[in-house]
Amino acid sequence: MVSEFSLIDRFFKRQTVNKSVTQGIGDDCALLKIPQGYELAITTDTMVENVHFFAGSDPYHLGHKLLGVNLSDLASMGAKPLAVTLALTVPKIDENWLQAFADGFFALAERYSVDLIGGDTTSGPLTLTVTALGLVPSGQALRRSTAQPGDIICVTGHLGDAGLGLKINQGYDCKQPDPALKRFNQPDPQVEAGQALIGTANACIDISDGLVGDLGHILQQSQVGACLDWEALPLSTEVLTYIENTGDWAMPLIAGDDYELCFTVSPDKVQNLTITHTKIGVIESEPGLRLNKSGNIQPLEVKSFEHFS
Amino acid sequence: MVSEFSLIDRFFKRQTVNKSVTQGIGDDCALLKIPQGYELAITTDTMVENVHFFAGSDPYHLGHKLLGVNLSDLASMGAKPLAVTLALTVPKIDENWLQAFADGFFALAERYSVDLIGGDTTSGPLTLTVTALGLVPSGQALRRSTAQPGDIICVTGHLGDAGLGLKINQGYDCKQPDPALKRFNQPDPQVEAGQALIGTANACIDISDGLVGDLGHILQQSQVGACLDWEALPLSTEVLTYIENTGDWAMPLIAGDDYELCFTVSPDKVQNLTITHTKIGVIESEPGLRLNKSGNIQPLEVKSFEHFS
């Protein structure tokens, strides 16, 4: 029998690297000292087997993705990741699974100097929850509610690659499947980009639930509308081929799991952007989301990936 | 269909009450401003159906208990509760269940002015995780590792009432079942007691996994031993009757779910204690845990409630 305590010690207890962490794993609570001039950003995301990932998914990928989706939420506020707690519910003690999961988790954690400071390990159906904590300069967090008419809408990276990865998993035959599968299995959060947008972007969100749905949150909370330019969307060759083969042109607009950032910048600040980005549209005062496809402007329904549908 | 967003809005979005909360539910992250002179205490606890609670358990009780067990961890460090995130995985949208769960959760949250600042709602097997955040004066958190030989060992409340509640649920016939059932179903965390112990107690832990197991953590981390006095243990009439009927005298020592605090105080500070407590033993330099039962001193094996056993 491996007890809860030796399980934590064996797989999840590492030396902490942030001096803000004054107590890590090992007491009833962890303790953090928050430096002056910063707010703490907090986010929680859960992944459930057979809902968010397939049964039998590679545990290394799961460890990476679970942390990645949480760091992506920190990135979308411009926060620097600091520490996380992990609530791990597993059906049984499978040491190989746990080791691979921990390896994937810590490979990403170490890249961003994130400390695992606590959590809970329980038995039950495979369910993974992380709460991530980050630091953001006081009063400067990037919000959803602060887009302005006239702002340029930008995204980091490409759209629809993770969605294509899902289609490949579901049987779509792609000539070059690896890049899309990697994006689906091991998304890289835009941690540096988020921090670099502070002071320049007016609004920001991560597009984990798809561009149309997540941009929709910015529009709703900022009480504005937008028009996207189809020709400007950053699409990979594989996604373009997918659209050609299937006619499913909406996929890169609505598919989730692209952990890229969508942000808005006022036109006079666009030249201040220091990160790689693509301009894909404009914020307008008229509510609703529209798509300009070869000069033909059509409304886009705000749909996002919804559970319980 | 009730979407994730309307589910949060309808059942879990309330006006925040702490001015430290600068962003609550509604963006990618919540934001907290930590006042100067305080550290942030963080804890995460998960409850899984059929592991931590019976299928069909009263959702009001579950909401209360889930928050209670997390606030108990804050209490054991002496932290004042501030805010929580909730990761709620439910098999289906059952509005009555959700309303009752939220009612139980918020009844306790409001008692301690705790804000729900974020989380995630997902579909899947019933699994409930809370991450709780609290404030503790810098450098003054109560630890497990700081008990000293000669310290008096004290507990708040009674021992074994929740354990008795579990026995009643499993079929034990108790004449006055309600107090024990209430302690099992709706444990009250010792939030005020924990804060009151700061500056007086040397070490503290909550006895969620049973007195022997949790005191064992103090002994192990402080590198000391202890002797408990059987006659001094605070036991309710119903627990005494249970022991008389069954011979199971160890139950109140090893049963979990008593969300009381076990703490140690140096003899010269005992008179400074401002909270109701019972002295149950003494910290000794000799390792191991012993029980003095009518003058007969016997070793007590350090056993705690372990999952995966």
Q: What is the pLDDT of residues B58-81, one digit of tens each?
A: 999 999 999 999 999 999 999 999
How many Å lie between the alpha carbon of A138 and the closest alpha carbon of chain B?
Answer: 8
Bridge-based pairing state of the strands B288-293 and B225-229: parallel
pLDDT computed for residue B306 by the predictor: 45
How many Å lie between the alpha carbon of A97 and the closest alpha carbon of chain B?
Answer: 16
Q: Where are the beta strands (DSSP E) in B29-187?
A: 30-32, 38-48, 80-90, 115-123, 127-137, 152-155
Mind listing the domains of chain A with CATH numbers?
4-137 (3.30.1330.10), 152-299 (3.90.650.10)
- B36 with A36: Cβ contact below 8 A: yes
Of A52, A117, A123, the CB nearest to B42: A117
* φ, ψ at A129 (rounded to 5°): -130, 130
Which residue do the tokens 């990936």 mark?
A: A305
- Tell me what the mean pLDDT of segment A152-170 comes to: 96
| Token pair listed for A229 | 């330019």
pLDDT computed for residue B7 by the predictor: 82
**Would the pLDDT of B188 be above 70?**
yes
**Would the pLDDT of A88 be above 80?**
yes
Return the residue in A9, A23, A44 with the most chain B beta carbons within 10 A, the one to mutate for interface testing. Answer: A44
- A42 with B36: Cβ contact below 8 A: no
Q: For chain B, give the percent of residues with pLDDT over 70.
A: 96
The CA-atom distances, in angstroms, between B61 and each of B83, B116, B122, B126, B184 are 20, 18, 21, 15, 9
Using 50, 70 and 90 to split pLDDT, how confident is the model at A1?
A: very low
Using 50, 70 and 90 to split pLDDT, how confident is the model at B260?
A: very high
Q: Is B293 an interface residue toward A (CB < 8 Å)? A: no
- Tell me what the mean pLDDT of segment B11-25 comes to: 94
- Using left for φ > 0, alpha for ψ between -120 and 50, and beta otherwise, residue A164 falls in alpha
Q: Give the nearest chain B residue to A24 (CA atoms).
A: B42
CA gap A155, A276 in Å, rounded: 9
pLDDT computed for residue A307 by the predictor: 42
> Per residue in A193-211, pLDDT tens?
999 999 999 999 999 999 9
- A4 with B307: Cβ contact below 8 A: yes
Chain B residues closer than 8 Å to A48 by CB:
89, 122-125, 127
Q: Where are the beta strands (DSSP E) in chain A?
A: 21-23, 30-32, 38-48, 80-90, 115-123, 127-137, 152-155, 203-206, 225-229, 261-265, 278-284, 288-293, 296-299
- A45 with B120: Cβ contact below 8 A: yes
- Tell me what the mean pLDDT of segment B90-106 comes to: 96
How many Å lie between the alpha carbon of B141 and the closest alpha carbon of chain A?
Answer: 8
- Tell me what the mean pLDDT of segment A89-95 comes to: 94
**Would the pLDDT of B302 be above 60?**
no
> Per residue in B125-179, pLDDT tens?
999 999 999 999 999 999 999 999 999 999 999 999 999 999 999 999 999 999 9
The CA-atom distances, in angstroms, between B192 and each of A71, A263, B196, B260 are 34, 44, 6, 12
Q: Is B214 an interface residue toward A (CB < 8 Å)? A: no
- A124 with B125: Cβ contact below 8 A: yes
> Per residue in A237-250, pLDDT tens?
999 999 999 999 99
Using 50, 70 and 90 to split pLDDT, how confident is the model at B259?
A: very high
Helices A237-246, A177-185: crossing angle, 10 deg rounding: 100
pLDDT computed for residue B4 by the predictor: 62
| Token pair listed for A136 | 């953001």
pLDDT computed for residue A9 by the predictor: 80
pLDDT computed for residue B303 by the predictor: 53
Q: Does ipTM come in above 0.90?
A: yes
Q: Which amino acid is at A139?
A: G
Q: Is B118 an interface residue toward A (CB < 8 Å)? A: yes
